[in-house]
Structure 1
């Protein structure tokens, strides 16, 4: 059977149809019989709508995650991201694939209050208790009335409990400068749940302020810091599956471990190391209609001077294997929002077998780990550019105005002189090809 990457786009779509991976609706979208983003949908998603901005959608092959073989949809404009993830996944699959674990505790909402007498809020009017700190007043009320707070939360979004979610915990925190906050831990079920969380937070805030003298409600909003929504993926790769023509697998593995360690000690390297991870993470997140800004905010908040990246690589000497682990916050949903609205997001989730939110977190973490492995293997062996150049040349030639049937010949000309390959050279080669064809 012809390999998936060797097929044309139309042939790939037909293979997915034959395999039963896509239904009629997905087929219509992929073949252009139905709009990937109808104007009536888009105009109700954003303000001042004028059109759509398509991003290529591809499938990263060879993923085996918790024993299940998958092609992972990835939406990305950068060449090589999909191929690199699939290449690493194939090496990992030969040693058993990815093993994942997920912690999905909920989303935190912050209700922030200050003293109403600080010049911005409404004066407490000298009512009883108004001379105490916001933290003391908030703490006392929550201790005495937690049941009321839970009732208000339920009433703010009654359907959440029917979907397995709801308020799971409350906590009061104090800060310098007189700030106090009431944190609500909310299980959002299968949704990412931003709107649900904010609705509940605002309702609880109104209730608390109406019962506590002298507090000014500064804001009520979810936190994108997502320590309670983490995914871990572990991968093993046999040394023999890491070798190149010029370097044995044992040496490649040890160089990867060194490269990974360097990201922990060098902030300059850590930024690029993490960008390579997010190449895969963001592409998979975007394909499923999840909020990439939410994921980026959570991932960034997880880092510090003591933790500069989300991956670690070690050597298992007994098994002659490289072992990689990724552990990062991935506050994803599987229903609601753009996931339910965008036809391409629905298609991507269908291609993944309609995963639960927890399952999707494990999948995306595995894509991030695969992207990290592929980038480091390239860096410590042949260098990063050689794997990128062919698709970069194709992009350059298309920018020069080449037709599909002219692409390969002009790319070959650029590849013959890569040091001088630029748009001007691509145009000259294209002009020469057309002159010779007359």
Structure 2
């Protein structure tokens, strides 16, 4: 029976590993060996990784690939992608090559505002709270001058503070709804520091406000935190070309392809079961670049999926149309990204990825990430509406199965030859491997 442990975080790395190995594994020596196998031989680099999170025991590797030939706003880029799912990088690269001869991708940042909120309870007269806010608003800016000084030098800072009445949702519930511009940083620490000061100022000023009764002076701050929903931090990515230019190997009838493609997108716009999978494909491209550049893909995911639900029903992030014999495919998504701060200056491969992208600003990175998502979506829809999604995916899956069974070079030749004309499935591949080994 497994046992609880007190003071685990205070143990050394070796002690943590030994406890886990002896507590959970039948062969403790083998478990310890595997954990240490993934350590970096460079001690300083390993220490750097150890300190990213708590209770580190080893490194969990995810492949870092690249998708070249992305023509974005008239300039070629090679996009770094950190992801474990097969066919994603290949699909992105294929889309990039396809559109590079058809005008490339256009990307535009529409807005970069970010949001933070102080959530508080006020039990008193609304008119008095509103007057208090009007009279106190400037003090919130003054109280955070030391925090905002450097951000303002870079052109950012606090854009506005609003008092929002949410008592229709929860009794006595109000917000300070704050808009920020954080330039090239994602800005989470900056925003949260400002909000915590706002909360402190709110309580202090309420205590000395003459129009408040003693009860009204007791404002209860519930929490102060940034929002990962950024509906005013939007980037648009798009491609378009004459319908006849869509012709290629798997597209013999470009008009038929374009019409079927548009129908596939329309289905994702109205059918949530399809929309979730449709958008997951978009996130394959987005998350891979977000992770490679040291940004928070969980925050990005949450914000984008909230955006996909803004109408009240979960829907497609991308859209397509045919107009005047021109095929157009586009999406607008919220992205809160940074190219300074956090892992961007700490993780060596993040620095490498950003240098590969020619040290982009946060706005430029928003464009690249959105394009990667649109490219991934185009690749998936092109496969779905032509050859089917499984043809390319299962070819990649075949390699994974061969690796799983440690196929020799001779076996790989036989396996690939056989499955050129036979359907790939895990069971059929395993059966074939066993047959050639007998």
Same-fold call, TM cutoff 0.5: yes
| 2:105–2:238 Cα contact (<8 Å) kept | yes
Shift of 1:429: 5.6
Structure 1 residue corresponding to 2:118, chosen from 111, 115, 120: 111
> What secondary structure does 1:390 align onto?
helix
Give the structure-2-normalised TM-score: 0.82
Q: Distance in 2 between matches of 1:249 and 1:37?
A: 55
1:142 to 2:133 alignment: yes
Shift of 1:33: 10
1:85 to 2:92 alignment: yes
Structure 1 residue corresponding to 2:322, chosen from 311, 315, 323: 315
1:205 to 2:187 alignment: no
| 1:113–1:216 Cα contact (<8 Å) kept | yes
Q: Distance in 2 between matches of 1:105 and 1:184?
A: 14
Structure 2 residue corresponding to 1:184, chosen from 173, 178, 183: 178
| 1:414–1:425 Cα contact (<8 Å) kept | no
Instruction: Kindly report the root-mean-square deviation, in angstroms, between the aligned alpha carbons of the 2 structures.
Output: 2.3
More displaced, 212-221 or 103-112?
103-112
1:64 to 2:55 alignment: no
| 1:238–1:322 Cα contact (<8 Å) kept | yes
Q: Counterpart in 1 of 2:236?
A: 232
Give the structure-1-normalised TM-score: 0.82
Q: Counterpart in 2 of 1:343?
A: 348
| 1:242–1:248 Cα contact (<8 Å) kept | yes
1:424 to 2:430 alignment: yes
> What secondary structure does 2:66 align onto?
strand
| 1:37–1:342 Cα contact (<8 Å) kept | no
Count of residues in Structure 1 that have an aligned counterpart in Structure 2: 383
Q: Distance in 2 between matches of 1:242 and 1:403?
A: 40
Cα 1:430–1:214 shift into 2, 3 Å:
farther
| 1:410–1:430 Cα contact (<8 Å) kept | no
| 2:40–2:46 Cα contact (<8 Å) kept | no
Cα 1:420–1:347 shift into 2, 3 Å:
closer
Q: Counterpart in 1 of 2:380?
A: 375
Q: Distance in 1 between matches of 2:436 and 2:187?
A: 51
Q: Distance in 2 between matches of 1:254 and 1:221?
A: 45
More displaced, 295-304 or 242-251?
242-251
Q: Distance in 1 between matches of 2:423 and 2:401?
A: 12
Shift of 1:270: 0.7
Structure 1 residue corresponding to 2:300, chosen from 295, 299, 309: 295
What 5-or-longer segments of structure 2 have no aligned partner? 1-38, 207-216
1:159 to 2:166 alignment: no
| 2:321–2:329 Cα contact (<8 Å) kept | yes
Q: Counterpart in 2 of 1:27?
A: none
Q: Distance in 2 between matches of 1:403 and 1:249?
A: 42
Shift of 1:99: 1.2
> What secondary structure does 1:51 align onto?
coil
Shift of 1:342: 1.1
Q: Distance in 2 between matches of 1:108 and 1:426?
A: 56
What 5-or-longer segments of structure 1 have no aligned partner? 1-31, 118-130, 433-438
Cα 1:245–1:260 shift into 2, 3 Å:
closer
> What secondary structure does 1:38 align onto?
helix
| 1:234–1:323 Cα contact (<8 Å) kept | yes
| 2:275–2:314 Cα contact (<8 Å) kept | no
Q: Counterpart in 1 of 2:255?
A: 250
1:390 to 2:399 alignment: no
| 1:168–1:187 Cα contact (<8 Å) kept | yes
> What secondary structure does 2:336 align onto?
coil
Match runs of 1:271-286 below 5 Å? 271-286=276-291
> What secondary structure does 2:392 align onto?
helix
1:54 to 2:61 alignment: yes
